[in-house]
Chains A and B, each alone.
Chain A
Amino acid sequence: MKDFLTYLVTGITLGASFALIGSGFVVVHRVTRIVNFAQGSFAIIATMLSASLLRGRLPHGLAEAAAVLVCGVVGAGVGWVALGRRGTHPLISLIVTLGLSILASAVIILLWGQDPVSPPGLHGHVTLLGVEVERQRLLVLVITLLAFAALALFFSRTYLGKALTASASNPYAARLVGIDVRRMGLLAFALAGILGGLAGVLVAPSNALSFSSDLALALSGFAAAVFGGLSSPGRTLVGGLLLGVAGQLTAGYLNGSYQTTVALLLMLLIMIARSRTFVAEEAK
């Protein structure tokens, strides 16, 4: 039982990071219909940058915040390239983001090398449900929940959030009322950069990340986002947590190397189960 609880709690905290990455996918897809495969790169860039800033004696909190903000700017840059000219098909943009993630890997190797990096985070443990949990992992969960609450409030309560939703809902009508749909797309990418960066600085102290970790992160995040139909942040959070727990249970009771396989299998099952909903949404 204790083992199970351990897997459960670590799974939830790990799943929170998947959900954060996934929410980046959701924000961009909601507004632009683009699947942004550079989403994992934001996490790596933030990790490397925060590690460098911490080495440069910038205090905790500030270093991470600066790294996350830089990722927001990088996100807007990715959006600027991926959105291209008006009328660029989302599938073309998807390939562009894939290319940009490869470019990002090259730049990361150039600037920071190939070794995995794990910047210092919170030390110590707390006991939760009789299970010892690293405080850093708990921080991931808390910040993820806060980020999702903020995201939900932003989309439902703020004028700008509504304009973002409107751009996704009916781009023609959005242009008609004077909303700059392209600028909204850039904003969505910037938000995705911030969310991805946040995931990076939160995860890296517990799991070292290298230039090549972006794909695994993006894959897990994407699976969570698919659970949310690529449009619902709330369901993405649930999907991320489920995925994290399933992965940890697999690693604990079976074998750690099956984790990604389980993630992919889950994603496949969800897609099959939800295919009708997707078709219905497409038809709308």
Chain B
Amino acid sequence: MLRIDDLVVRYGAAVALDGVSLHLEAGEMVALVGPNGAGKSTLLNAVSGLVPPASGSVTCEGRIAQVPEGRQMFPDMTVEDNLVLGGWSVRNRDLGEVLDLLPDLVRLRKLKAGRLSGGQQQMVAIGRALMAKPDLLAIDELSLGLAPLVVAELAEHLRFLNSERGTAILLVEQEVSLAFELCPRTCVLEAGRVVAAGPSAELAESEAVRRAYFGDLGVSDELMAGFAGTEVHS
């Protein structure tokens, strides 16, 4: 449903993405991992249409909604208003479906979004994106700054969304263990290029990938051992 072919994105003279290709099937969950500055967020913004490609193409059959890095609330507005505005592009003002999916939001709806905790804001950000009735949810840093328990709960919501609604998910994630656990397929970016891609379980096992691309993320052997229930061969 999403085809990214030979995508090049430049910021002035700097090349942020250098010939990236990635295909997503309908209902698929794919993680994008890689070190800081690898171009993960740029790729997501290009998919969302916020950044124009210098060359190459991004085509998507269906609607895309983004859960941006840092949650990006409308802080002085209520949760309800934040959600309602999420449906702006499709003129969807009916909160019912989103509140069914994320029932925690019901008791928060009258509160100002700026006053919520990080986890609650992330929930609002996901709800706001869902208001656009997306076929593909592009999530930038689900876990950033959140407690593990909160992240686990959010991940559960995403799994449910994917299995029940068939919403495809493209997840940019620094927390590699979360990315591997949640998404069956992973794409590794470095310096604007795809350096490895494939089933998350295989990538988690791959010593080369681990050394080359996750070593600098400070991922310990114990953590790696937890990925997809596989052992790390040292």
Chain B residues within an 8 Å CB radius of A170: 72-75
Closest to A167 in B: B74
Chain A residues in 8 Å Cβ range of B72: 170, 172-173, 176
Given contacts A159-B93, A162-B81, contact A173 B88 (CB under 8 A): no
What mask results when residues 144 to 185 of chain A are scored 1 for a CB within 8 Å of chain B, else 0? 000000000000000100110110011011111111000000
A-contact bits for B75-87, CB 8 A (1 contact / 0 none): 1110001001110
Residues of A within 8 A of B132 (CB): 177-178
Known: A165-B77, A169-B75, A170-B73. A178 touches B93 (CB 8 A): no
Contact A178 B74 (CB under 8 A): no
A173 touches B74 (CB 8 A): yes
Kindly state whether residue B66 has any CB partner on chain A within 8 Å: yes
Q: Is the CB of B77 within 8 A of A162?
A: yes
Please, which residues of chain B bring their CB within 8 A of the CB of A159?
84, 88, 93
Q: Choose among A172, A179, A284 the residue that contacts B85 (Cβ–Cβ < 8 A).
A: A179
Could you tell me the distance in whole angstroms from the C-beta of A88 to the nearest C-beta in chain B? 18
Tell me the interface secondary structure of chain B in the complex. Answer: loop
Given A173-B68, A177-B128, A177-B132, the answer on whether A163 and B88 have CB atoms closer than 8 Å is yes
Residues of B close to A174: CB separation below 8 A = 74, 85
Question: Which size bracket describes the interface of A in this complex?
Answer: 10 to 19
**Contact among B50, B74, B86, B128 with A169 in the assembled complex (CB-CB below 8 Å):** B74
Question: What CA separation (Å) do A170 and B68 show in the bound complex?
Answer: 12
CA A162 to CA B88, docked complex, whole Å = 10
Q: Flag if B77 contacts A166 (CB, 8 Å).
A: yes
A185 to chain B, nearest CB (A): 16
A173 partner residues in chain B, CB cutoff 8 A? 68, 72-74
User: Which of A169, A177, A284 meets B88, CB within 8 Å?
Assistant: A177
Closest to A165 in B: B77
Task: Say whether B36 faces chain A, with CB atoms less than 8 Å apart.
Answer: no
Chain B residue contacts of A179, Cβ below 8 A: 85, 88
The SS class assigned to the A binding surface is helix
Q: Is B48 an interface residue (CB 8 A)?
A: yes
- Please provide the chain B residues from 60 to 119 with a CB less than 8 Å away from any CB of chain A in the complex: 66, 68, 72-77, 81, 84-86, 88-89, 93
Whole-angstrom CA separation of A177 from B85 in the bound complex:
7
CB-nearest residue of chain A to B76: A169
On whether the beta carbons of A176 and B77 are closer than 8 Å, the reply is: no
Min CB distance B162 to A, Å, is: 21
CA distance A276 to B165 in the complex (A): 49
Q: A159-B93, A166-B77 are in contact. Are A172 and B68 (CB under 8 A)?
A: yes
Contact residues in B for A165 (Cβ distance below 8 Å) = 74, 76-77
Query: For B50, B76, B93, B128, which residue has the most chain A Cβ atoms within 10 angstroms?
Result: B76
- Among A163, A165, A169, max chain B CB count under 10 A is at A169
Instruction: Say whether B84 contacts A162, CB under 8 Å.
Output: yes
Q: Which residues of chain B from 220 to 234 have any CB-CB distance to chain A below 8 Å in the complex?
A: none
Contact between B74 and A176 (Cβ–Cβ < 8 Å)? no
Chain B contacts for A178, CB-based, 8 A: 88-89, 132
Instruction: From B48, B68, B74, B89, give the contact of A166 (CB < 8 A).
Output: B74
CB-CB under 8 A from B76, the residues of chain A are 165, 169
Q: How far is B75's CA from A240's CA once the two chains are assembled, in angstroms?
A: 28
Cα of A170 to Cα of B71 in the assembled complex, Å: 11
**Are B84 and A176 neighbours in the complex by a CB distance under 8 Å?**
no
Complex alpha-carbon distance, A86 and B66, angstroms: 21
CB distance from A50 to the nearest CB of B (A): 37
Q: How far is the CA of A28 from the CA of B149 in the complex (A)?
A: 43
What 10 pairs between A and B have smallest CB-CB spacing?
A178-B89, A173-B72, A169-B74, A166-B74, A177-B88, A178-B88, A166-B85, A177-B86, A170-B74, A177-B85
Pairs A–B under 8 Å by Cβ, sample size 18? A159-B84, A159-B88, A159-B93, A162-B85, A163-B88, A165-B74, A165-B77, A166-B74, A169-B74, A169-B77, A170-B73, A170-B74, A173-B73, A175-B50, A177-B86, A177-B132, A178-B89, A178-B132
A interface residues (Cβ-Cβ under 8 A, vs B): 159, 162-163, 165-166, 169-170, 172-179, 284
